[in-house]
Amino acid sequence: MTVYEPIRAATWLYSRLEPDATLRTALGGSGRVFNATVPQGSTHTKYVVFQLLSLVPTVCQGPTRPAAELVYSIKAVGVALPFSALYAALDRIEALLFGVDVTATILGASWHFTVAERPDTSLGFEYVERTPGGPDYTHAGRRWPIMMQAA
Amino acid sequence: MIRATATLRTAGLDSYIARLPGALDDGAEAVAQRTAVRWRELAHVVTGSYRASIFVQTHDHSDYAEHASAAQALNPHAVILPEPPRPARKGAASVGSAVEHAMFEELGTSTRPAHPAFTPAVELARADLRAEIQKRIAP
């Protein structure tokens, strides 16, 4: 069976971030972690968006890919807020992901997830998005290299 | 500025380098050029300015000016960023985008998801670096 890593990785990331009480407090409530897009009409002033940036299969056996290295962007976004208003959420994400080495059952299969740090690579970013006639959006976060393999 | 630098680490390879002068410099530039090509292939195209803005720098060469001009011509509203410093030494090469909205394309905005192109290109370059080292040190 061919596995589809991004669905499993996104499910794992969401399950790790969204239910966390400390992160919810930092964001001002629950339901503020999103995969790739924020629903139209959202009124949250602080939220987290994660998105797959790259996927490289590292082990292939016939039709299966039992291991892959993925890179995710995980960022906190603030509406008319300074970067400093995002740091508590970013610190909590760091605590929830940095050095992770766990096995989890995701969508009925057991997978091992490792956050594969790269000390020689710059991964952090901050930028401001200005909208005509609207508020400024501050985006801050980093890219997270995640190894996943069938357990 | 969204930008990556490819560096061939030469520690422990002095004897090989002595026999192959310039080979590692060429390797870094070759990887950077290939990364730029992949990045352009993956870049999200609306006006084409983002794709046209992708440039390569080495210690003694840069095509920033022509790519910044091409990007500005395709989209006069594009914010052109100043050229960053070139790599300080031989054996290193950089790829970058000259337009501000490269960051928005790569990492998304409040209303649009990311269209990653830089990261996949750089991830493939990591494998290229290893291959270039092997090809040049032990052909």
Counting one residue from A and one from B, how many pairs have CB atoms under 8 Å apart? 50
Q: What's the pLDDT band for A119 if we cut at 50, 70, 90?
A: low
For an interface test with B, which of A42, A47, A125, A127 has the most B Cβ atoms less than 10 Å from its Cβ?
A127
Classify B27 as helix, strand or coil.
helix
Q: How many CB atoms lie within 10 A of CB A112?
A: 14
φ/ψ bin of B45: left (φ > 0), alpha (ψ from -120 to 50), beta (otherwise) = beta
Report chain B residues whose CB lies below 8 A from the CB of A68: none
Task: State CA A38 to chain mean position distance.
Answer: 14
Tokens representing A144 are 């997270």
pLDDT of A2 above 50: no
Q: Considering the entire predicted model, what is its pTM?
A: 0.85
- Nearest residue of A to residue B112 by CA position? A37
Report chain A residues whose CB lies below 8 A from the CB of B109: 129, 137, 139
Kindly provide the ipTM of the predicted complex, given to two decimals.
0.87
In the block, tokens 């990331």 appear at: A13
Q: pLDDT of B116-130, one tens digit each?
A: 999 999 988 877 777
- Nearest residue of A to residue B115 by CA position? A53
Give the distance from residue A18's alpha carbon to the nearest chain B alpha carbon, in angstroms.
19
Tokens representing A146 are 């995640």
Whether the Cβ atoms of residue B50 and residue B44 lie closer than 8 Å to each other? yes
List Cβ neighbours of B30 (8 Å cut-off, separation of 6 or more).
Answer: B132
If chain B, 139 residues long, is cut into consecutive pieces of 10 residues, what is the mean pLDDT of each piece? 69 60 72 94 95 95 96 96 92 92 95 93 81 67
Verify whether the Cβ–Cβ distance A73 to B120 is below 8 Å.
no
Chain B positions with Cβ closer than 8 Å to A? 103-104, 106-110, 113-114, 116, 119-120, 123-124, 127
Classify A148 as helix, strand or coil.
strand
